[in-house]
Amino acid sequence: MDYFPIFIDIAKKPCLVVGGGDIAYRKINLLLKADAQVTCIAPETCDGVAELVKNNKIILIKKDFEASDVNAQVLIVSATDDAVLNARVSALAKKANIPVNVVDSPALCSFIMPSIVDRSPIVIAISSAGKAPVLARLIRAKLESTIPNAYGKLATLAGNFRQQVKAKFNNIEDRRYFWEKAFSGVVAEKVFAGKIDEAQTDLQAQLDDSIDSDIGEVYLVGGGPGDPDLLTFKALRLMQQADVILYDRLVSDEVMELVRRDAELIYVGKERDNHSVPQEGINQLLVDLAKQGRRVCRLKGGDPFIFGRGGEEIETLAENGVPFQVVPGITAASGCSTYSGIPLTHRDYSQSCRFVTGHLKDGSMNLPWDELAVEQQTIVFYMALKGAQHLSDQLIAHGMRGEMPVALVEKGTTPEHKVHTTTLAELPDLVANEIIHAPTLIIVGEVVKLREKLNWYDMDKN
Ligand code: SAH
């Protein structure tokens, strides 16, 4: 370790910043976050610093730096563009044993400032010992994206209970067990969902043993159409914390790669006409697993509430008193159209968009064809490969032009993403003559033509 990491309490303590430019302004703001009493010494200041002075956030002494300015300071930052002055500030501070930082001059510093992920009271500091600050910042960006914002609130909540928990459990092991459960269970999830009051009540109840804290939870998570980069932060977090994952055919291999390594994986199928586990079986399995105290992630393709039967699954959970949460995902219509260069709406071509199921029941689709066969609208058919002939016939019979552009998207957003463009009249021939791999989505509307200009994703392939 080149530097020893510590966190210093500078609240209400005098800190000096020499210089009044943009860099000084950034450092002052950091010091203010820790509630320091900042004095800035500079003959001139930038607008930001002037604003802080105006709002009484800091004291400005408009003059050149003098040796006596270091007196009584607990921390000094020199942020001027004058190398000689910076060296002088550094030497004086070091002589007086006051920690000093000179921006971008590690040799003149007695402490360096890390990249910070601020989830106060949780604060993560990252340093490369001045060797690769950009790398430290990249690491910071990674952490920023994976650590939920609400961790700070969780830590604050825990802080409020610390004494009580200490009083109840004498030994450290028991305390640790209690907190681990709180931080990875329902309490934490409620904080993340913004329900701080409920989380507080639950934590109190767990402490008093007045609720069954052994019941698990179900996360109904939208895994998106295939590309793992389209997962939400929340989906990823819950996938990585669940003990059991129930997934089906629509969840891509790349997305499955991201679930917790040691989680139990249960395939519940749903291949067309070949349901490995019937829907009622899935609903019940979710209840049973949660009642064993397990955290269950029901991972679905796309969005769980769009042709995903997510509603039915959580209905059973609600009836059985199992806590659950739902994470939306990018639905196939959105993912496939975007990755095909087809905007679903467009001021000139389509003012509305309908998502409909093309699933055949007894050889037909029970759809309001009159409402669908209109201009200036985009229709997205899910589950419609087998019904392509039927939907083409029906739309044309209800007045839609046979030349209406149509796109058929295979395995959208995955590495095998493929788009076929045709017309409504020729769609049945395309489906009959080409080898097409499920899942597929059919997009009907003038917007399909825009693909010629707007395609950005699979330009080399088609
Ligand atoms: N809940 C899912 C839809 C489930 S219904 C969602 O929101 O996307 C299953 C249908 O979704 C498939 O028959 C197909 O029409 C469509 N689908 C899902 N993923 C797809 C993909 N990657 N490419 C093309 N179509 C897809």
Query: In terms of domains, do 364 and 420 share one?
Result: yes
Active site residue 449: no
**Confidence (pLDDT) at 181:** 81
Per-residue tokens: 365: 């689709």
Could you tell me if residue 185 is inside a domain? Answer: no
Ligand 1 neighbour 412 (Cβ under 6 A): yes
**Confidence (pLDDT) at 29:** 97
Ligand 1 neighbour 306 (Cβ under 6 A): yes
Dihedral class, residue 376 (left if φ above 0, else alpha if ψ from -120 to 50, else beta): left
368-390: pLDDT as tens digits = 999 999 999 999 999 999 999 99
pLDDT at 148 over 70: yes
Q: What DSSP assignment string belongs to 192-234?
A: HTT-HHHHHHHHHHHHTT-S-TT--EEEEEE-BSS-GGGS-HH
| CA–CA distance, 172 with 170 (Å, rounded to integer) | 7
**Confidence (pLDDT) at 271:** 55
Q: Are 102 and 90 in contact (CB under 8 A)?
A: yes
| CA–CA distance, 195 with 217 (Å, rounded to integer) | 16
Per-residue tokens: 421: 């463009």
Q: Are 275 and 227 in contact (CB under 8 A)?
A: no
Ligand 1 neighbour 227 (Cβ under 6 A): no
Closest of 356, 296, 342 to residue 320, by C-alpha: 296
Could you tell me if residue 133 is inside a domain? Answer: no
Could you tell me if residue 250 is inside a domain? Answer: yes
Selecting among 190, 270, 300, 418, the annotated active-site residue is: 270
Calculate what percentage of the chain has a pLDDT beyond 70: 97
**Confidence (pLDDT) at 460:** 61
Query: What's the N-to-C CA distance of the chain in angstroms?
Result: 53
Number of domains the chain contains: 3
Query: In terms of domains, do 314 and 230 share one?
Result: yes
Residue nearest to atom 16 of ligand 1 (CA): 382
Could you tell me if residue 123 is inside a domain? Answer: no
Could you tell me if residue 75 is inside a domain? Answer: yes
Looking up residue 321, the CATH number of its domain turns out to be: 3.40.1010.10
Per-residue tokens: 58: 């800091």
**Confidence (pLDDT) at 363:** 85
Query: In terms of domains, do 233 and 315 share one?
Result: yes
Could you tell me if residue 442 is inside a domain? Answer: yes
337-364: pLDDT as tens digits = 999 999 999 999 999 999 999 998 888 8
Residue 271 is given by DSSP the state B
Q: Pairing mode, if any, of strands 122-126 and 115-119?
A: antiparallel
Residue nearest to atom 24 of ligand 1 (CA): 440
Q: Which of 273, 298, 330 is the last residue of a domain?
A: 330
Q: Are 397 and 424 in contact (CB under 8 A)?
A: no
| CA–CA distance, 62 with 155 (Å, rounded to integer) | 41
Query: In terms of domains, do 286 and 393 share one?
Result: no
| CA–CA distance, 37 with 28 (Å, rounded to integer) | 10
| CA–CA distance, 442 with 172 (Å, rounded to integer) | 59
Query: In terms of domains, do 320 and 350 share one?
Result: no
Q: Which residues, other chains included, contact 3 with Cβ-Cβ below 8 Å and sequence gap of 6+?
A: 111, 112, 127, 129
In this structure, is the dihedral angle defined by the CA atoms of residues 156, 157, 163 and 166, taken in order, positive or negative? negative
Q: Pairing mode, if any, of strands 75-78 and 14-18?
A: parallel
Looking up residue 27, the CATH number of its domain turns out to be: 3.40.50.720
Q: What DSSP assignment string belongs to 112-176?
A: -PPEEEEETTEEEEE--TTS-HHHHHHHHHHHHHHS-TTHHHHHHHHHHHHHHHHHH--SHHHHH
Residue nearest to atom 6 of ligand 1 (CA): 302
Residue nearest to atom 5 of ligand 1 (CA): 307
Ligand 1 neighbour 413 (Cβ under 6 A): yes
Q: Which residues, other chains included, contact 169 with Cβ-Cβ below 8 Å and sequence gap of 6+?
A: 175, 178
Distance 428 CA to ligand 1 centre (A): 20
Ligand 1 neighbour 380 (Cβ under 6 A): no
| CA–CA distance, 321 with 210 (Å, rounded to integer) | 16
Ligand 1 neighbour 383 (Cβ under 6 A): yes
Could you tell me if residue 326 is inside a domain? Answer: yes
**Confidence (pLDDT) at 275:** 56
Q: What is the mean pLDDT of residues 39-66?
A: 97
Which region among 7-11, 181-185, 405-409 has the lowest average model confidence (pLDDT)?
181-185
Residue 289 is given by DSSP the state H
Greater confidence (192 vs 41) lies with 41
Query: In terms of domains, do 349 and 246 share one?
Result: no
Ligand 1 neighbour 439 (Cβ under 6 A): yes
Q: Which of 113, 136, 156 is the last residue of a domain?
A: 113
Q: What is the mean pLDDT of residues 34-45?
A: 97
Active site residue 270: yes
Query: In terms of domains, do 338 and 323 share one?
Result: no
The answer to whether the pTM exceeds 0.85 is no
Cite the annotated binding site for NAD(+) by residue number.
Answer: 22-23, 43-44
Query: In terms of domains, do 378 and 363 share one?
Result: yes
**Confidence (pLDDT) at 133:** 84
In this structure, is the dihedral angle defined by the CA atoms of residues 433, 254, 345 and 356, taken in order, positive or negative? positive
pLDDT at 131 over 90: no
Q: Which of 313, 330, 347 is the last residue of a domain?
A: 330
437-462: pLDDT as tens digits = 999 999 999 999 999 999 988 766 54
Per-residue tokens: 434: 């080409």
The best mutation among 382, 385, 408 to test binding of ligand 1, ranked by most ligand atoms within 8 Å of the C-beta, falls on 382
In this structure, is the dihedral angle defined by the CA atoms of residues 365, 370, 374 and 377, taken in order, positive or negative? negative
Query: In terms of domains, do 320 and 360 share one?
Result: no
Distance 440 CA to ligand 1 centre (A): 7
- Domain boundaries, position 438: 333-461
243-298: pLDDT as tens digits = 999 999 999 999 999 999 889 999 998 655 555 688 889 999 999 999 998 999 99
The residues pairing with 426 across neighbouring beta strands, listed in sequence order, are none
Query: In terms of domains, do 51 and 83 share one?
Result: yes
How many DSSP H helices and E strands does the chain contain? 17, 17
Query: In terms of domains, do 326 and 422 share one?
Result: no
Task: Tell me the residue type at 345.
Answer: T
Q: What is the mean pLDDT of residues 296-316?
A: 94
**Confidence (pLDDT) at 273:** 52
192-206: pLDDT as tens digits = 888 999 999 999 998
Selecting among 69, 202, 248, 411, the annotated active-site residue is: 248
Q: Over the chain, what is the mean pLDDT?
A: 93
Looking up residue 423, the CATH number of its domain turns out to be: 3.30.950.10
Distance 301 CA to ligand 1 centre (A): 7
Residue nearest to atom 2 of ligand 1 (CA): 302
Could you tell me if residue 94 is inside a domain? Answer: yes
84-110: pLDDT as tens digits = 999 999 999 999 999 999 998 989 999
Query: In terms of domains, do 107 and 220 share one?
Result: no
